[in-house]
Chains A and B, each alone.
Chain A
Amino acid sequence: MTDVNPQSASRFLDYAPAPESTSILHLKPSYGLFINGEFVDGHGDSFQTISPATEKTIAEISNADSSDVDAAVAAARSAYTRTWSKLSGADRGKYLFRIARLVQERARELAVAESLDNGKPIKESRDVDVPLVAAWFFYYAGWADKLDYAGLGPNPRALGVAAQVIPWNFPLLMLAWKVAPALAAGNTVVIKPAETTPLSALIFAEILQQADLPAGVVNIITGAGDTGEALVNHPDVNKVAFTGSTAVGRAIAKSVAGTGKKVTLELGGKAANIVFDDAPIDQAVEGIVNGIFFNQGHVCCAGSRLLVQENIHDEVVDRLKSRLMTLRLGDPLDKNTDIGAINSREQLERIRELSDIGEKEGADRWTAPCAIPENGFWFAPTIFDNVSTSSTIAREEVFGPVLSVLTFRTPAEAIAKANNTPYGLSAGIWSDKGSKILAVADGLRAGVIWANTFNRFDPASPFGGFKESGYGREGGRHGLAAYLESAGWGSPAAGSTTVSTTRKQASA
C-alpha cells in the first residue's frame, strides 16, 4: 500500500525503514515450562515458535503432556494451600503492583517479543498491548484488598486453582486479563498460552521470578490443543477460563458440565459497526479502519460487519478505500507499519478460504493495492461490498482483515441486522445524535457497545458477550466475580481450603 502512486520514483510516503531494534531481547534458544517458579523441561515433543513475518524460528518451546499438567496443577494447589491463600489482600496487591511496574520497566522488550512472535505491528504492541497489560495489573492490584466491595457480600472466597487457556491474538494482554483478577481474588493459576505465541508469556515468567512471586502461584505451560484439554479437564482445578473460538468453547462447556468447575468463556464475535448518516464521517471512517484492521482483524470484538445507512453508502465506501490506500503493510517491527503479518499459515488459509467463498457468493471484493512480502503470512486489507445478510462472510467469523459492508435504511433495521447473528460480543454506533446512540444501544444484544469509537479497552470496563460469544465478564468489578464466590453460598466445596482470602485476621 506504499505504492499508491507508483509513477513518482521517490516519495515521502515511502518512509525510510524505521525498525525497532531487537537488541533489547535476550532470548534463550529454548524455553521450558514454568512450573513451581522454575523452568523445567516438558515431557512432550518440543516445538518451534516462528516469526509469522519471516517464517524464521525464534525459539524451541517445551510441550507439556498430561504428567506436566499434573505437576503444574499440583504446584498451583500447593501454592494456594500453603502460601497464596494465607496472604492478606494487601500483600497480594503488593505482588501485583510489583508485576505491573516490572511490565512497565520491560515494556519495550515485551513489545518487541510480542511483535516478533505474533506478527502484530510494533506500534500496536508498544502503544496498546503492553500499556494495557500494565494497566490490568495495576487495576486489579488495587482490588486485592477491597474484595468486600466486589458486590459479592462481605468476605468473598477465592475458588482455588484456575486453569486458563488463552489465544494468540493478544498473547500477553489475554494473559493479563486472566492472571491479574485471578491473583487479586486469591486464586493460583495454571495458564496455557497459544502454541503459536508462547514467547511473551515465557518472558512474563521471568518477570514473575524477578517479582519474587511465591513459587507455584502462577504456572505457565506451553503446548497445543491437547495440553489445553488436559488442563481444563484436570480434576483438581476449580475454575476454567477460556478465550478463543466458539467451537473449542463449546467443547469446554460440555467437558466441565457437572464437575462443579466455574467457567467463563470469551469466544467469537461478528460485530456490527453501525454508521448513521449523521455520523462524524471522517472519524467514523477511522473507526471502521480501527474496528476491522487493528491487529490484522485478529480481534474477537472486531467490527467485521459494517452496517452503513444506505444514503451514505457510496461516500463511506469511497472514503474508506482512499483511507485504506494509506495503510502500510509490512515488517511488524517497523514503527510505521499499520498492518502486520497474519499469525499463522493455518489462519491465513482460513481467511483466504472464507474470502473466496465471499467472492463466489457474489459480494464485490476490493483489496487495497499493496506489495506483499515474499516470505511470511500476509493478507492485504480487503472489503466486501454488497454483502447480503445470508452471505457466509457476513455470518462466520473471518478473524482477519476482511470487512463486509451491508446497508440499512432505518434504525430499527440496523438493530435487527446487527442482532441477526449467533454472536453478541460487541457493536459500534456512529452518530452525532446522543439520543439515537442510546436508543440503538438499548436494542443491541452485545456485551460491549462503543459509541463513536471502536476497539477501546480499559481495565475498569467489563468485557464479555451474549449468546455464542460466551459467558462471564472480564475486567472491572464484574471480572472479579469470575474468580470469587460469595461467602454466603454455602459449602466451599470447590476449593481444597476454606481459608478466607480477604479477612485473614477475622477468620483466624
Chain B
Amino acid sequence: MNATTQGLPAQTFQAKALAPAERALSMIGGDLTEKSLRLHLEGLAGVDAVGLEQRAAALGTRSIKTTSKAWALDTIIELIDLTTLEGADTPGKVRSLVAKAVNPDPSDATTPRVAAVCVYGDMVPHAVQALGGAWSRGTDNGINVAAVATAFPSGRSSLAIKIADTSEAVAAGADEIDMVIDRGAFLSGNFGLVFDQIVAVKEACRRADGTYAHLKVILETGELNTYDNVRRASWLAILAGGDFIKTSTGKVAPAATLPVTLLMLEVVRDWHRLTGERIGVKPAGGIRTSKDAIKYLVTVAETVGEEWLTPHLFRFGASSLLNDVLLQRQKLTTGRYSGPDYVTMD
C-alpha cells in the first residue's frame, strides 16, 4: 500500500481510492479518495493559536476545592492508564505495576482502581496473568490491559509489521491498542496513507469472536507542530475509525499540553454534534501533578460536558501522576501532607 503511491502522476495519486471506513463514507460521502479526504481536512476551520492558548489558560484558573476536589481526585485515578513503556521493562516490573493498579493505596481501601495498565505488546501476557481476577476481559468491570503497537513510538515500519504487532497483542489479551500514526506521511501530505493504515490496524484489533479491541490513535502532537495539523489529524483518526484520539507517546517533547487537549476535545465535541457519536480523548505524557490533572478535568467538563469523564471517553496516560493524586487524597482525608515514602513506588 505504501509503495503503490510512490512515483505515480498527481492525477492518479489524487484519485486513489481509500479503504472504505464507515465513518468516512458517511461523513465525506461519494467516492472516498485521497483527494476527497484532503479536501475535507483542509476545509476544516483554522485554529488561532493565541486564542486557543488563552482559552486553555483561562480554564486552568478554575479553583476546584473541597468536595469538588475530592471527587476530582478519585475521578482522576479512575481515568488513569497506568503506564510503563521502557526498554528495561521486565515481567517483574509489570507485575509490580499491576499490583499498584489494583490497589493504588494500601493504606486506604476506598481508593478507586485505575482504568487500565498500558504496556508494550510483549508484556501483555504478563499483565493479564498478574491481573488475574481483576482483569476486565473487555467487560466494564475490572482493569483493562492496553498495549502500544504499530512500531511504537516512531511508527517507522511496514504496514505488515504494524498489523502483526497489533494482532499479536490482541491475541494475547490486550483490551485496548494504542497505535501511532505515521507522522512522516502526515507531514508530507500523504493523508490517505495514514488513513488506510489506521483502517488496517483497526481491522487487526478484531478478536476471534468478532468483537474489537478499543483503538486509541496516537497523533504525537509534539511532532505535528501546528494546531491546524492537530485538528486535521484528529479528524483523520476519527474518520478512519479510532475509538480514542491520544496526544502523545510520551517519548517526544512536548507531550500532552492543555491547549492541544482542548483542541482535540473540540474536535470530539464537533463530531458528537454532527453524528451523535462519542469519541474518547487521552492526553498522555507530562501530566504529573493533581493540580495539572484537575485542569484537564475542568477542560473536559466545560468543553464536551462532564459525561465525558468516564474511562470510556477520557483517560490520562501517566505513571507518576497516580502517586501525586494519592498524596493529595491522603491530605484531604487526614488534613496533613505526607511524603513520597508514604505511597508505593509502583
Chain A: residues with CB nearer than 8 A to chain B?
5, 11-18, 123, 127, 278-283, 286-287, 326, 335-336, 432, 452-453
Interface status of B61 (Cβ within 8 A of chain A): yes
Interface status of B306 (Cβ within 8 A of chain A): yes
Q: Flag the segment in B25-33, B68-76, B110-118, B192-200 that touches A.
A: B68-76
Q: Is B75's CB under 8 angstroms from A12's CB?
A: yes
Q: Is A12's CB under 8 angstroms from B72's CB?
A: yes
Complex interface: chain A residues within 8 A of B61 (CB)? 123, 127, 335
A28 CB to closest chain B CB (Å) equals 29
Mask: chain B, 43-83; 1 = CB below 8 Å from A; 0 = not: 00111101110110000011111111101100100000000
Complex interface: chain A residues within 8 A of B45 (CB)? 278-282, 432
Interface status of B122 (Cβ within 8 A of chain A): no
Partner of B48, one of A11, A18, A280: A280
Partner of A280, one of B47, B62, B306: B47
Q: Is A12's CB under 8 angstroms from B63's CB?
A: no
Q: Tell me the bound Cα distance from A287 to B52 in angstroms.
A: 10
CB-based closest 4 A-B pairs: A283-B51, A18-B63, A280-B48, A432-B46
A283 CB to closest chain B CB (Å) equals 3
Q: Is A335's CB under 8 angstroms from B52's CB?
A: no
Please name the residue on chain B nearest to A430 by beta carbon.
Answer: B48
Partner of B301, one of A12, A278, A279: A12
Complex interface: chain A residues within 8 A of B67 (CB)? 16
Q: Can you identify 12 A-B contacts, CB atoms within 8 angstroms?
A: A5-B305, A11-B306, A13-B302, A15-B62, A278-B46, A279-B46, A280-B45, A283-B47, A283-B50, A326-B302, A432-B46, A452-B48
Q: Is B63's CB under 8 angstroms from A283's CB?
A: no
Q: Is A453's CB under 8 angstroms from B51's CB?
A: yes
B331 CB to closest chain A CB (Å) equals 16
Complex interface: chain B residues within 8 A of A15 (CB)? 62-65, 68
Chain B: residues with CB nearer than 8 A to chain A?
45-48, 50-52, 54-55, 61-69, 71-72, 75, 266, 297, 301-302, 305-306, 309
Q: Is B71's CB under 8 angstroms from A17's CB?
A: no
Please name the residue on chain A nearest to B303 by beta carbon.
Answer: A326
SS of A interface (majority): loop
Q: Tell me the bound Cα distance from A456 to B309 in angstroms.
A: 33
A283-B51, A286-B55 known; A13+B301 contact, CB < 8 A: yes
Please name the residue on chain A nearest to B72 by beta carbon.
Answer: A12
Q: Is A336's CB under 8 angstroms from B63's CB?
A: yes
Complex interface: chain B residues within 8 A of A326 (CB)? 302
Q: Is B62's CB under 8 angstroms from A13's CB?
A: no
A101 CB to closest chain B CB (Å) equals 24
Complex interface: chain A residues within 8 A of B71 (CB)? 12
Q: Tell me the bound Cα distance from A278 to B47 in angstroms.
A: 10
A127-B61, A282-B266 known; A12+B68 contact, CB < 8 A: yes
Complex interface: chain B residues within 8 A of A287 (CB)? 51
Given contacts A14-B68, A282-B266, 10 further A-B contacts (CB under 8 A): A17-B66, A278-B46, A280-B47, A282-B55, A283-B47, A283-B48, A283-B52, A326-B302, A432-B46, A453-B51
